[in-house]
């Protein structure tokens, strides 16, 4: 499974019908891979929202996300209040960072073409939460170094 976040969210070059919250829940869980708990997820995705869901409601969100991901053998779940991501996936942000680091180490100009193929625009344009905005700025700074 390949997840694209630069210039718009998609999975394996297909538009995936996720709501804004489901995109944020899924991508935040992917980026933080098994290092977050449910409370951390709620506080970041619903940062400025007074209508934060209860911890038990996150399981409902995960169920809806998992139904859309069933063809990819990827699954979100909760174990002892920890958010667990199961399955194999690749995300463009990790590939981007890996190639950028190689470029900074080697100055290999061929890597610039690879970076341009990956970076198709700002990170998760669909969202305006603080956590996504901070990642957006981080990736833009890396991109602008080229």
27-42 confidence digits (pLDDT tens): 999 999 878 999 999 9
- Looking at CATH, the fold of the domain delimited by 2-86 is given as Arc Repressor Mutant, subunit A (1.10.10)
Does residue 118 carry a pLDDT above 80? Answer: yes
Mean per-residue pLDDT, 121-137: 93
Rounded to whole angstroms, how far apart are CA atoms 49 and 87?
31
Rounded to whole angstroms, how far apart are CA atoms 80 and 10?
30
pLDDT score recorded for residue 14: 64
48-91 confidence digits (pLDDT tens): 766 889 888 999 999 999 998 988 889 999 999 999 999 999 99
List phi, psi (to 5°) of 77: -155, 170
Mean per-residue pLDDT, 11-19: 76
pTM over 0.85: yes
C-beta of residue 41 within 8 angstroms of C-beta of residue 28: yes
Classify 30 as helix, strand or coil. helix
pLDDT score recorded for residue 77: 93
Rounded to whole angstroms, how far apart are CA atoms 23 and 33?
15
Q: Where are the beta strands (DSSP E) in the chain?
A: 2-4, 10-11, 75-79, 82-86, 90-91
Q: What is the mean pLDDT of the chain?
A: 90
Instruction: Give the start-to-end residue ranges of the domains of the chain.
Output: 2-86, 93-144
pLDDT score recorded for residue 19: 87
Triad 6, 8, 14: Cα angle to 5°: 110
Out of 9-23, 88-102, 108-122, 124-138, which region has the weakest mean confidence (pLDDT)? 9-23
**CA-based radius of gyration for the chain:** 16
pLDDT score recorded for residue 93: 96
């Amino acid at each position: 499974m390949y997840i694209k976040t630069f210039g718009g969210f998609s999975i394996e070059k297909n538009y995936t019908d996720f709501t804004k919250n489901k995109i944020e829940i899924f991508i935040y869980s992917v980026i933080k891979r098994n290092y977050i708990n449910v409370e951390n997820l709620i506080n970041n995705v619903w940062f400025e929202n007074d209508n934060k869901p209860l911890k038990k409601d996150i399981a409902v969100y995960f169920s809806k996300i998992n139904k859309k991901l069933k063809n990819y053998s990827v699954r979100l779940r909760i174990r002892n209040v920890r958010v667990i991501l199961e399955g194999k996936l690749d995300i463009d942000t990790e590939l981007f960072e890996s190639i950028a680091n190689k470029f900074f180490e080697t100055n290999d100009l061929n890597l610039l073409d690879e970076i341009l193929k990956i970076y198709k625009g700002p990170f998760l344009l669909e969202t305006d939460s603080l956590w996504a905005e901070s990642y957006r700025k981080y990736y833009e700074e890396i991109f602008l170094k080229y």
